[in-house]
Amino acid sequence: MFDPPRDDSKATIDAAKAKGVNVKMITGDDTAIAIETCRQLGLGTNILNAADVFPKDMDPDNVPDDIAETIEKAD
C-alpha cells in the first residue's frame, strides 16, 4: 500500500525548511508508509507510532517532559 504525497509537498517542505522551520509529519498511516513518504519528501525517517508514545490516560494538554522530548527528536 502507498498513499503518495501531493505533487507540491516536497517543494513546500523545502521552502519551509529554507526559512528555518522544522517540519514534522503527523499521519494515521501505517508506520512503513509514513517512513517511505518521509523518505520521498526529504524528511527524516525517525517515525514514532502514537500508541507506543502516548499513554492511554495522558492528558493531551499536559504532555510530560520526557514524552515532549521524544516527540521533538522524531521526524
Q: pLDDT tens track of the chain, all 75 residues?
A: 567 889 999 999 999 999 999 998 887 778 888 888 899 999 988 998 888 888 889 998 999 999 999 989 998
Q: What is the pLDDT of residue 10?
A: 94
E strand or H helix that includes residue 31? helix 31-41
Phi, psi for residue 57 in degrees, rounded to 5 = -100, 10
Global pTM reads: 0.71
Q: How many helices (H) and strands (E) does the chain have?
A: 4, 0
Q: Using an 8 Å Cβ cutoff, are 13 and 41 in contact?
A: yes
For the chain, the residue count is 75
Look at residues 74, 4, 73 and name the one whose alpha carbon lies nearest to residue 36. 4
